[in-house]
Structure 1
Amino acid sequence: MANKFLLVALCLLTSMCSLAIPSSSNGLVRICLKKQRFDLNSIKAARIIGKERKFAKKSLYNILNVGASATDIASLKNLLDARYYGEIGIGSPPQKFSVIFDTGSSNLWVPSSHCYFSMACYGHSRYNTSQSSTFADIGKPSNINYGFGSISGFLSKDNVQVGDLVVKDQVLIGATRQGIAFSLSKFDGILGLGFHEISAENAVPVWDNMAQQGLISQNIFSFWFNRDPEKSEGGEIIIGGVDPKHFKGEHTYVPVTQKGYWQIGFGDFLIANHSTGFCEGGCNAIMDSGTSFIAGPTAIITEINRAIGVKGLKNVDCKRVVSQYGDLMWNLLISGVQPGKLCSNIGLCLNGTQPMSKIIETKVEAKSGKKLAVGDDLLCTACEMTAIWIHSQLKQNKTKTKIFEYVNKLCDELQNPKAESAVNCDNIVNMPNISFIIGNRSFHLTPEQYVLKVEQGFSTICISGFIPLDVPPPKGPLWILGEIFMEAYHTVFDFGKLQIGFAEAA
């Protein structure tokens, strides 16, 4: 009988995360995560948004404060494809909400009980301030725009329970309006784990308040995502430390290069152990727990997707650049001109990135007051991609004939941003590894890790986990490493030392 009781106790302990019961031990606070299956419609939305992103001032989410000035940095991602979420409580007594713990933003928001005119609110838990004894009204309006929709509401203060911790007087947004796209989400709201610098309305983030109120033993938190589709346990966030059971070996730590985002630098990017040459001068990446995909510059994503068998569309502008300027580009590259400067040298771009159409438009405007639409901006983009492709092949000592055969094939297979990038599920074993060189260590992703399997009806569709994202200088080029990367590598976010650590996930 005693053995039976012991067995039951062990089963309860090992299933705590699958039951979404928060727990703490050794000064650590554990937040159990749930995982939803991929949805093909959300993936299609992510593809479209990837090509239609605008640039905004404050954060990955294109945060627009009331009265904010003109925007200049990107709204970068689609929350609808995020799969991992956990439970928090707001108010006294706590009202439960499912939220994405998002390292790509800094605000906390949930739907408000005063959200009457947005259908998206009715499918989710709603925060009722009248039922909380610790609620304090601020009343200031706030608005956050995403690539696929927006939320707006009003600021207030209340107690927020995260795991076993209770954060007092936390500023949050009670959303009174939500875009219809939020109807597709499994989560109710967002708990941002980014820095104060990118917080809308300058609200102090939850994590900052945890530290200021002395609730955490160490200024770090760590993510472990469970990739196993057969397991009900989605993963865990550990606040105040790490769980050695979640990783293998030692972590490689790299510094945060820009406070605001969890942004790091990396030294190279490889396809099948061959350098693309794209990151010779260094690249930047944002670690983002709030999106599934890995996003990067179109030129490199095209190379990856061709290597894994994604079928795209013939691009006329790309073919035109190769046929009319190919020889000139070749001669300039072998003479030592850098890819980033080549297109301005041949007159297709201004300063390497601004299309010549902008010059023409400015001159016409000055004379007549009217704007002239010119298609050179498309040629500028095509030129930049072609320069990168030729340069990467030159580094592999390919002949001119072989290089232009390769470039022409890429022009024929540019990804259609409005379609999912399907690959042959039976060919996964033959696909190449994709690697990032971070902190002088190679972090590779196998095809089993970067190909997403999506159930549709009674069949399975395999989708590339790479999507295009073009952020111009000086903020770009920029990569986003989402859940696909974080599933493969246990990730530690160190606020105290401003660094991020990676180790192979267990």
Structure 2
Amino acid sequence: MKWLILTVLCLHLCEGLLRIPLKKGKSIREAMKESGVLHDYLVKHRYYDPAYKFFNNFATAYEPLANNMEMSYYGEISIGTPPQNFLVLFDTGSSNLWVPSTLCQSQACDNHNKFNPNLSSTFSTQNEFFSLQYGTGSLTGIFGFDTVTIQGISITNQEFGLSETEPGTNFLYSPFDGILGLAFPAISAGGATTVMQKMLQENLLDSPIFSFYLSGFMVGTQSSGWCSQGCQGIVDTGTSLLTVPNQVFSELMQYIGAEADGNGQYVASCSNIENMPTLTFVISGTSFPLPPSAYMLQSNSGYCTVGIESTYLPSQNGQPLWILGDVFLRVYYSIYDMGNKQVGFATAV
């Protein structure tokens, strides 16, 4: 049986497993800070709600790059014949594959790898337009078809997006070139065939199962009662932080001992991390503790940023919504079984 495995570390290949080594790079936040534009960006986008991406119409996908501010792990793929290489973010919260192209005139495209359709003998297009809505504008382009190769596995005639415009400054500072969505086809912009769909159609995967390893609810030992009437959770590799309902956010910051810094972030002294509470998620009766070393993002300033943000939006059934992003997924190995619509977790070792 062949599965799709994405892992931070290059492990020995096992029969039937496709492993994609993820590379660690500088995060968007780090790049913006070094360039002196982080403060203005955070002030401008401080009220962005990270849950908007999950409540869109199916014609236009909404994928906020603001969620990727802390992202620093990416994998390499190639597109075309001969192959052109790209670093992409593997995202369980979106469904489309897109990369910058030579059709793009935006500044953000100039410092990233760009796909040149004229250099690929296997490229074709029907010039179908697409638009992906981001927190700072619309990424637009056309759909094309070409061979996509992932760790030596070639997917022929795969549909993907060639960007023509990339909005805002955050794309300019992103260490990845494009995004490879792994979510269900229902949220694919333009109804484009997803990479997972195409791999199954070509019998490159036996089962629609993939996993990531990026290295009830309780605070400390006390039950918070925040999910006493039930909560809904989304597991998303495309969200860098842990997202909690707005109605519990302030109380959670008090438990942690964090204060607002004026830029829309919450900070606390790094020297106090060992005294902060462990946050425990209870999922289907199993406890998943998240230590403060996981949810506090350390820096060289002596103050640590809390890797937690809030959302005002409820889930579709009205229950409080939590998004388990990379802050959680760095601690737990996650397995996504699309065929049975299940997500599994195991402690990362």
Sort the TM-score into its range (normalised by shorter chain): 0.7 to 0.9
Residue number among 185, 188, 192 corresponding to 2:174 in the alignment: 185
Deviations 1:182-239 (A, max 9, x none): 001000000000000000000111011111110013321111113xxxxxxxxxxxxx
Q: Does 1:146 align with 2:139?
A: no
Residues 284 and 460 from structure 1, CA distance in 2 versus in 1: closer, same or farther, beyond 3 angstroms?
A: same
3-state secondary structure, aligned to 1:285: strand
1:504 matched to 2:336: no
User: Which one has the bigger helix percentage?
Assistant: 1
Greater displacement, 36-45 / 461-470: 36-45
The question of 1:127 aligning with 2:138 is answered no
Q: Distance in 1 between matches of 2:185 and 2:282?
A: 29
State the alpha-carbon separation in 2 of the partners of residues 32 and 216 from structure 1: 18
SS in 1 for 2:258: coil
Cα distance, 1:311 vs structure 2: 1.5
Which residue number corresponds to residue 87 of structure 2?
Answer: 98
Equivalent in 294, 302, 310 of residue 242 of structure 2: 294
In the alignment, which residue of structure 2 is the partner of 1:470? 312
Q: What CA distance in whole angstroms lies between the structure 2 residues aligned with 1:175 and 1:469? A: 29
Give the drift of 1:63: 6.7
Distance in 1 separating the partners of 2:145 and 2:191? 14
Following superposition, the deviation at residue 468 of structure 1 comes to 1.0
Q: Distance in 2 between matches of 1:77 and 1:285?
A: 20
Against the structure 1 CA distance between its residues 101 and 207, is the aligned structure 2 distance closer, same or farther, given a 3 Å change threshold? same
The answer as to 2:324 corresponding to 1:481 is yes
Q: Which has the larger radius of gyration?
A: 1
Q: How does 1:93-242 map to 2 (within 5 A)?
A: 93-116=82-105, 118-181=106-169, 182-226=171-215
Residue 319 of structure 1 corresponds to none
Distance 2:342 2:315 in 1: 24
The answer to whether the Cα contact below 8 Å between 1:433 and 1:446 also exists between their aligned partners in 2 is: yes
Q: Note the C-alpha offset of 1:46.
A: 6.8
8 Å CA contact 1:78, 1:148 repeated in 2: no
Q: For residues 129 and 467 of structure 1, what CA distance do their matches in structure 2 show?
A: 40
2:303 is aligned with what amino acid? I
* 8 Å contact kept, 1:153–1:174: yes
C-alpha distance 47-484 of structure 1, shift in aligned 2 (>3 A): farther
Which residue of structure 2 lines up, in the alignment, with residue 377 of structure 1? none
1:93 CA drift (Å)? 1.1
SS where residue 151 of structure 1 aligns?
strand
Structure 1 residue 306: Cα displacement: 1.2
Q: Which runs of 5+ in 2 are unaligned?
A: 1-6
Partner deviation per Cα, 1:66-122 (whole Å, 9 max, x = no partner): xx6xx9x99695233322111000011110000000000000000011112x10000
* Cα deviation digits, residues 350-376 of structure 1 (max 9, x gap): xxxxxxxxxxxxxxxxxxxxxxxxxxx
- CA gap of 1:61–1:82, structure 2 versus 1, over 3 A, is farther
Q: Compute the displacement of 1:420 (Å).
A: 2.2
The 1:61/1:139 distance shift into structure 2, 3 A limit, reads farther
Aligned length: 334
What is aligned with 1:446? 291
Q: 1:249-260 alignment to 2 at 5 Å?
A: none
Q: Is the 8 A contact 2:271 2:302 kept in 1?
A: no
Structure 1 regions of 5+ residues with no counterpart? 1-15, 227-267, 313-414
- Whether 1:60 aligns to 2:54 is yes
Question: Are the equivalent residues in 1 in contact too, given 2:63–2:134 (CA < 8 A)?
Answer: no
Secondary structure of the structure 2 residue equivalent to 1:52: coil
Task: Describe how 1:17-28 pairs up with structure 2 within 5 A.
Answer: 24-28=13-17
Whichever residue aligns with residue 142 of structure 1, its letter is F
Paired residues of 2:49 and 2:310 also in contact (CA < 8 A): no
2:264: which partner in 1?
Answer: 419
The alpha-carbon deviation at position 454 of structure 1 amounts to: 2.7
- Structure 1 Cα separation of the partners of residues 284 and 42 of structure 2: 30
The answer to whether the Cα contact below 8 Å between 1:62 and 1:75 also exists between their aligned partners in 2 is no
Structure 1 residue 162 displacement after superposition = 1.2
Name the SS for the 1:81 alignment partner.
coil
Query: Contact 1:27/1:217 (CA < 8 Å) preserved in 2?
Result: no
Aligned position for 2:256:
308
Correspondence for 1:78: 67
Structure 1 residue matching 2:144: 3-state secondary structure: strand
- Residue 25 (structure 1) shift: 3.2
TM-score normalised according to structure 1 size: 0.61
TM-score by length of 2: 0.87
Which of 10, 18, 38 aligns to 1:29? It is: 18
The alignment's C-alpha RMSD in Å is: 2.7
